[in-house]
Amino acid sequence: MRTHTRGAPTVFFISLLWPLLAPAAAAAAAAEVDPSGGIPFMGGNYDGHPMLYFSRGDVEELQYAATGTHQDMARRIREAGETMLEHPEEYLPPWSPAEFSARWNEVYGNNLGVLSMFCLLYPHRAGALDLAKDYMERMAAQPSWLVKDAPWDEVPLAHSLVGFATAYDFLYEYLNKGQQERFLQVIGNASRHMYEKSYVRGWGFQYLHNHQPTNCVALLTGSLVYMTQGYLQEAYLWTKQVLSIMEKSMILLQDVTDGSLYEGVAYGTYTTRSLFQYMHLVQRHFAIGHFDHPWLLKHFAFMYRTILPGFQRTVAIADSNYNWFYGPESQLVFMDRYVLRNGSGNWLAELIHQNRVIEGPGQAGKGQRWCTLHTEFIWYDPNLIPKPPSDFGTPRLHYFEDWGVVTYGSALPADTNRSFLSFKSGKLGGRAIFDIVHKNKYKEWIKGWRNFNAGHEHPDQNSFTFAPNGVPFITEALYGPKYTLLNNAVLFGSATSGSCFKPWTGQVTEVCDSKWLRYKVGLAADAQGQVEAALERQGMVFIRGEGSSAYSPELKIRNFQRNLLLLHPQLLLLVDHIHLDPDSPTRAMSAFFHNTELPFQGTNIDSVHGAFVSHGEDRYKMFWMDDTGFSHKGVTGYWNYPHGYPYIGSNYVNVTMPLRYPHSRVAYIFFGPGVDVQSFSLRGDDQRVDIYLATKDHTYTIYLLTGEVTSKPLFAMVLQDHKKIVFEKTAAAVQTSPEEVEEYVNVMDDNLQHVKPVFQQMERHILGRVLNSASFRKTAERLLQFSDKKKTEEVIERMFAMSKKQGKGKGGKKVNLGEKLSESLPDLFAQIEVNEKKERQRTSKRTYEDSPEEGDADSRAFMDYPDGRKNRKGAFVKGRKFKEVHMVATVGSEGLSSTASYIRLFLLLNTGTFFLLLAVLLTRFQRGRSLHTQRCFYTILIIDCFILLYLYSSCSHTQC
């Protein structure tokens, strides 16, 4: 026996030590993506204002950074502040309520954030604080921050609230007592209004839409300020409501696997402006970490792969301007500091700022240009040296599989042959939202399209853009009416029901009499396109999309296939393949191509018609022809947008061509001044179409296989001079859909459990702070503001009597009277939550208010108060342990710190004991001792090992 066990101790103890080593290895791996982002959890322990993003003790450090590491951002903040000081009449809100509410007024809240940061960094700047106080007085004087003509839209109010509450937090110590109380009342009234409307407006239940984080972060900011001032019960309800909405969004966002946002880049920055603030705030105040979120890990690609050469414009898919509505420098430094940690975010932010358009198309809006400067300053990490991604400078093909968008040539310096190409063919709302709706996923929360809002999307399946040499040649038509003809897409002859431009029919989502896309019901609810291929081979790019499902079945279109071949950086071939059913009524197609700035002019060469735009001395040309050799003259013009849109219209060229049964092909070539096309022809059969192109430098023969069943497993083959390039079907885009997040209801409930302990800690601190002071009774009444009035009086009297007893504990140790008083209170938050839940259930049938944009939604689809341990069906979830919320504070948590110290001491002592016993066993008792003695030592070591694991777990929870 002794012979067989003599070699065992080494193996035995390696296996025994593995449980101790494994957590350390796991911790090292987790450190790469820290869910907290390194943001310390406050734990309900605040030393007054500021407290939202940083504490009072951090202000001096921020002021020091403004003269050193952050001086570039500080300079922009100072320029904004000085501009407002020089022209106060231009930037101060009006006193008149009629004037304040007469138009969209987000500018007032947006500018107040940067003004308050300016005052905080430069408190001695003459006139700055007076301007900020005057600014806040004017806003506080308004009876409402809503816009008169849009009383159903809380977004302008949200901008005002988040700016006003942020300024209140930053400048609290500079306000007099009257201003502190008055401004707090304004914040409370606005937050209360937002809270009430969160139950009846779309932003409370339409997930992943830009209104939702905008309004929720405003309410959260107001509630945090209100909480700090001791109004715990109301602030608790507001906070829980925000988190119950936003945590659902964060779970649903996990289905978006490519980091995109379906509303496009411009509105995407509207969403992330607030979404990133939300992530920061819930980690700092409630220890809810989202910095390892899979969508966030991919979001940099959405910013980087959508920028045109020159870093001034982006893909303008969906309602858009030329680039970004908000930021994006703030969002980029946020991602770098909390997610990327490689300098790429800082690098891109720096490059975008250097190339900013000061005047003309693409310049930042007056109402948005400054509103993210303060968060950019707060989130910037100067230790991350700006560094481009490893593939910078090389054109890359990128496929956003959820968004249904392909880009090529993004984020390059503007130069000859630095070209950009994009293509869109995807599911309405993106794959995640579309599949959630159609596959009945997340059915505890989602009741079809009513829980989403695709109103900002366009009827744009199988659309594209092209910018040879970085010059926008074929562009999106920006924020305009939702017509197919404004989206570089195709209309078909033969009018159907709902056609906007008879006898032509566009995509089923287009709408004739609204600013918003049709998406909720009917054929529109099922509209989709599909990217079938996105390949790059030897410097050439091939993209194919299928768009027939975006059109009415009445047209009997079996296939609408759009093929793009980038043969040269300045030469693009586009081929439309239309396969009709035998009884299809359509016999013509009409394609539109847009340029928002440069007008098209007609041209033709040898009966092949075309058009061109002039950019300086250069001409960018296009020609077209069908597979019979026919080329119809195009129509050029300017499409004027109706009043109410931010842009006045777009230049276009319209190409109408006949269709034949069973199939027709139309080819278009687009080229820049560096390419001289000398000949262009095509012919086809049932299986394929052959295109012949000759330029001054090369000849191209393209074999494009368009049949549903082809003789070879290819999409296309290109012969360039004597070189062959093949685009094989084996590399086709694979269509998949992610699985529903496991136990998603409980995941959200776990995060909501973080809220109550923070408010309970606040309750203890507030009571401890006002002991034996004149404000004790007033503070107690404020804490119990929404409790039963009769019981409140009894509780206050009992607390007041206890506060007079300055008792001492045993051994002369002071008793924490704040905690004792807190324990004597009823559970403030459970009581008000139960009351509120009953009230919402009672009024849910009559509280919904129609709005022009959200008139058929169902408020019951989102109204719930999570019940901790139960799912919506009322059954307990078996086999699941809910996360315990540990209150670890950065300051003022004596009890917890002492506990952590004891645990640390026992851990160190036990570790030493363990290794001492291990050494004794291996050196003294391995040989010459009885087997019984060795087993006793093994038993002692195993017990000690479990004690070590327990202490290690306790220490990790208390962050000791």
Residues catalogued as catalytic: 211, 267, 479
**Nearest CA-CA partner of 507 in 458, 543, 556:** 458
* Contact by Cβ (8 Å): 171, 118: no
List b or e across 131-150, with b for residues whose CB sees 16 or more CB atoms inside 10 angstroms: bbbebbebbbebebbbbeee
3-state secondary structure of 456: coil
Beta bridge mates, 405: 400, 424
Q: Which residue in this structure is represented by tokens 């409402």?
A: 144
3-state secondary structure of 601: strand
3-state secondary structure of 821: helix
> In Å, how far from its chain's centre is CA 318?
16
Instruction: Locate 381 and state its tokens.
Output: 């990490």
Question: HSE-up of 751 (CA within 13 Å, CB side)?
Answer: 26
Angle between helices 755-769 and 776-783 (to 10 degrees): 160
Secondary structure letter of residue 308 according to DSSP? P
Question: For the residues of 727-793, what is the DSSP string, one character each?
Answer: EEGGGPPP---PPPPTTHHHHHHHHHTTHHHHHHHHHHHHHHHTTTSTTHHHHHHHHTTTS-HHHHH
How far is Cα 313 from Cα 853, in angstroms, rounded to an integer? 30
Phi then psi for residue 511, to 5 deg, are -135, 140
Instruction: Locate 498 and state its tokens.
Output: 């709902």
* Contact by Cβ (8 Å): 488, 465: yes
List b or e across 35-57, with b for residues whose CB sees 16 or more CB atoms inside 10 angstroms: ebbebebbbbbbeebbbbbbbee
Using a 10 angstrom Cβ sphere, with 0-12 exposed, 13-18 middle and 19 or more buried, the burial of residue 438 is middle
Using a 10 angstrom Cβ sphere, with 0-12 exposed, 13-18 middle and 19 or more buried, the burial of residue 70 is buried
* Contact by Cβ (8 Å): 249, 442: no
How far is Cα 252 from Cα 245, in angstroms, rounded to an integer? 11
How far is Cα 759 from Cα 228, in angstroms, rounded to an integer? 10
How far is Cα 844 from Cα 834, in angstroms, rounded to an integer? 15
* Contact by Cβ (8 Å): 596, 615: no
Instruction: Locate 226 and state its tokens.
Output: 């209100």
Question: For the residues of 197-262, what is the DSSP string, one character each?
Answer: HTTTSGGGT-TT-THHHHHHHHHHHHHHHHHHTT-HHHHHHHHHHHHHHHHHHHHHGGG-TTS--T
How far is Cα 168 from Cα 550, in angstroms, rounded to an integer? 50
How far is Cα 249 from Cα 408, in angstroms, rounded to an integer? 30
Cis peptide before 713 (omega within 30 of 0): no
How far is Cα 950 from Cα 749, in angstroms, rounded to an integer? 26
Using a 10 angstrom Cβ sphere, with 0-12 exposed, 13-18 middle and 19 or more buried, the burial of residue 840 is middle
What's the length of the chain? 960
